[in-house]
Amino acid sequence: MSEESEIVRIAAKGDGVTADGRHVRYAAPGDTLLPDGSLSPGPHHAVPPCRHFGTCGGCQLQHCDEASIARYVTERVAFAAQSQGVAIGEMLAPHLSPPRSRRRCALHALSAGGKPVIGFREAGSHRVVDMRECHILRPELFALVPALRALLARRKGRFAVDIELALTDQGVDCALANLPVEGLEETEALLTFAQENRLARLTLDQGYGPEPVWEPEPATVSLSGIPVGFPSGSFLQATVDGEAALAGAAREWLAGAGVVADLFAGLGTFSFPLAETGKVLAVEAARDAHLACKGVAGRSGRPVHAMHRDLFRNPLQPDELNRFDAVLLDPPRAGAREQVSRLAESTVARIVYVSCNPSSWARDAARLVEGGYRLERVRPVGQFVWSTHVELASLFLR
């Protein structure tokens, strides 16, 4: 390398990129790549707050300030649309969740040298970082890590436990998988752990599916102020503020729509807010989530009708879709190729597409545009603080 190069943007996986296309780890926009390969920090370079950054796979962007992360989140969406030839009418300012706001996570626990190691995996590795601090998790979740470490420290032999934590209305929902429990002593230790830490629920999966062993009262999550039963392992937006940003965009863009179809509705994250002003059909394939939504729909007083249907194998057809004033869809990361193709053939006036994967969203957006829709506006959302994971809400008009 013979001359200095400025870092001009952040690549999809978090590396800094120079104007001539070189990728540099832990480089922020405005940094200077020196001839000897070292970095001279620029105005957007931040000091990572966590001691585990660089090893833990939970964060990729702690070396970047908020302004450069906001730009990254926006560019991820813009570049994805551009790659598919889709024009964005209006790109709205991104919403970024603050530190210590994530209310769900998947951790791992291993026995190492006779002691438990608990945390996220290292980037690109099966090794687990022994988490001693975390700047992304809600304090209620991180507070459980030392307690889990103490619980597992009493066990003999080797183990590899998967841990899912979610913050519900009643407290932390803790699900443990691959943890053998044998005999009265181990069972009592688990119940004591749940009671002392005031868990909302403790669930065990020993190879036969999740079974709750502690749940003083039914665990719920509130959606638009309505407590909805929370089946263990169900999908939940990562942060409360991120959910509010996505739901707020949907509510604003679909204002005045009398009848809305909410596809891939889950527990009703968008169904219940949208039902404040109109009727909603909530369509979901996962039976537990469907039943939870259906169970509370009648008691909520809001006009939500829950339908159990696999939209991948049996998407709503154009003649079914044409009965609705608007459609909202929030599919998994793979997108919704078949359902989007049917939407492209419909006469639905407004579509709000919420996505957790700009790449699959852009592919589906191109199909909608091909079918006669225009992409009116997009709101990028960075719920996973310091992560390369990007979400968005988008509005399509016919």
Q: What is the pLDDT of residue 300?
A: 87
Mean pLDDT is lowest, of 81-90, 181-190, 288-297, for 181-190
Q: What is the pLDDT of residue 136?
A: 97
Phi, psi of 150 (to 5 degrees): -65, -40
Neighbours of 323 (CB within 10 A): 12
Rounded average pLDDT over 197-218: 93
Two structure tokens written together for 297: 């729909």
List 50, 56, 59, 356, catalytic entry: 356
Question: Which tops the pLDDT comparison, 173 or 2?
Answer: 173
Q: How far is CA 255 from CA 28, 132, 278, 305, in A?
A: 40, 46, 9, 19
- Residue 356 is among the residues annotated as catalytic for this protein: yes
User: Which amino acid does the sequence have at 268?
Assistant: G
Q: Which CATH superfamily is domain 69-98+236-397 in?
A: Vaccinia Virus protein VP39 (3.40.50.150)
Which residues, 6 or more positions from 107, have their beta carbon under 8 angstroms from its beta carbon?
118, 119, 120, 131, 145, 162, 163, 164, 165
- Containing 238, the helix (H) or strand (E) segment is none
Specify the 3-state DSSP secondary structure of 60: coil
Q: What is the pLDDT of residue 298?
A: 82
Task: Determine how β-strand 95-96 pairs with β-strand 374-382.
Answer: parallel
Q: How far is CA 170 from CA 195, 217, 278, in A?
A: 13, 8, 30
Q: What is the pLDDT of residue 129?
A: 95
Annotated binding residues for S-adenosyl-L-methionine, written as ranges, equal 237, 264, 284, 330
- The CATH code that applies to domain 104-220 is 2.40.50.1070
pLDDT at 2 over 80: no
DSSP annotation of 58: T
Specify the 3-state DSSP secondary structure of 190: helix
The whole-chain average pLDDT of the chain stands at 95
- Containing 116, the helix (H) or strand (E) segment is strand 115-119
Phi, psi of 173 (to 5 degrees): -95, 120
């620029």: which residue's tokens?
A: 42
C-alpha triplet 360, 366, 371: angle, nearest 5°: 130
């001359």: which residue's tokens?
A: 3
Q: What is the pLDDT of residue 224?
A: 92
pLDDT in tens, 270-320: 999 999 999 999 999 999 999 999 999 988 889 999 999 999 999 999 999
Which residues, 6 or more positions from 113, have their beta carbon under 8 angstroms from its beta carbon?
none
pLDDT band at 125 (very low <50, low <70, confident <90, very high): confident
- Is residue 158 exposed (0-12), middle (13-18) or buried (19+ Cβ within 10 Å)? exposed
- What number of helices (H) and strands (E) belong to the chain? 10, 22
Domain ranges of the chain: 1-45, 69-98+236-397, 104-220
Q: What is the pLDDT of residue 148?
A: 97
CB 200 within 8 A of CB 228: no
CB 381 within 8 A of CB 94: yes
Whole-prediction pTM: 0.95
Which residues, 6 or more positions from 52, have their beta carbon under 8 angstroms from its beta carbon?
58, 119, 129, 131, 132, 133, 134
**What gap in Å lies between CA 283 and CA 290, rounded to an integer?**
8
Q: What is the pLDDT of residue 1?
A: 53
% residues pLDDT > 90 (the chain)? 89
Q: What is the pLDDT of residue 157?
A: 81
**What gap in Å lies between CA 267 and CA 281, rounded to an integer?**
12
Rounded average pLDDT over 264-270: 97
Task: Determine how β-strand 350-355 pairs with β-strand 391-397.
Answer: antiparallel
Q: What is the pLDDT of residue 301?
A: 86
């709205």: which residue's tokens?
A: 92
- Containing 282, the helix (H) or strand (E) segment is strand 279-284
Neighbours of 325 (CB within 10 A): 16
Q: What is the pLDDT of residue 155?
A: 85
Two structure tokens written together for 373: 């829709």
CB 285 within 8 A of CB 312: yes
Two structure tokens written together for 321: 């879709």
């079914």: which residue's tokens?
A: 320
